[in-house]
Amino acid sequence: MKCDAEGFAALYSTVYTDMYRFALCMMKSSHDAEDAVSEAVIQAYEHIGSLRSEESFKSWIFTILANTCRKKWRQQERDQKKAELSFFSGEDESAPDWDQAVDVRNAFAILAEEEQLIVGLSVFGGYTSGEIGELLEKSPSTVRSKMSRALAKMSLILKE
């Protein structure tokens, strides 16, 4: 699809709020969410030629955002492991904050990566199980089943 800056901005304006909410849920901090959305938008703009139709824009850009969030998660996990190793080896004097309250974000964080994507795309992206199934290459019934189990896990954690 051919698209100029104004056309891209018009398409982006229809989804930016949902993108930020999705990224905020996935990344757990407003700064990380803003970074993820910014990176995803830059990647989308650079690769707008690979978009087949305007109707697919929302799912296409959310796929880019989900991949960006996953990449950032992996980097954060590597950084956290390094910090923990340096803490336990005595290299770092500052202790990590172990006293975080259990809330919805923490319950969400306990879910597996795929469960987080499914819940996030459904709740914050407004996608149906069929649309999520297409994005993740799974059947809609599998998506609904995984969503149900993920929400049950969160419910158990929040009840504790």
Q: What's the pLDDT at 96?
A: 42
Q: What's the pLDDT at 1?
A: 59
Domain end position, chosen among 99, 117, 144 = 99
117 with 153, same domain: the answer is: yes
13 with 36, same domain: the answer is: yes
110 with 86, same domain: the answer is: no
- Neighbouring CB atoms inside 10 A of 135's CB total 19
Cα dihedral: 16, 8, 50, 62 (round 10):
0
75 with 23, same domain: the answer is: yes
pLDDT tens digits along 13-52: 999 888 998 888 888 788 988 999 999 999 999 988 888 8
56 with 77, same domain: the answer is: yes
Q: What's the pLDDT at 95?
A: 47
Residues spanned by the domain of 59: 1-99
Domain end position, chosen among 99, 117, 139 = 99
Which residues have CB under 8 Å from 24's CB, separation 6+? 30, 33
93 with 156, same domain: the answer is: no
Domain end position, chosen among 79, 99, 119 = 99
**Domain total for the chain?**
2
Q: What's the pLDDT at 143?
A: 92
Q: What's the pLDDT at 97?
A: 39
User: Residue 113 maps to which CATH number?
Assistant: 1.10.10.10
In the chain, which stretches have pLDDT less than 70?
Answer: 1-3, 83-103, 160
38 with 6, same domain: the answer is: yes
User: Residue 92 maps to which CATH number?
Assistant: 1.10.1740.10
83 with 11, same domain: the answer is: yes
Q: Is-contact 76 84, C-beta < 8 A?
A: no
Q: What is the distance between the alpha carbons of residues 16 and 87, in angstroms, rounded to a whole number?
A: 38
64 with 9, same domain: the answer is: yes
20 with 94, same domain: the answer is: yes
Residue-wise DSSP of 24-90:
HHHHSSHHHHHHHHHHHHHHHHHTGGG---GGGHHHHHHHHHHHHHHHHHHHHHHHHHHHHHHHHTT
71 with 108, same domain: the answer is: no
46 with 77, same domain: the answer is: yes
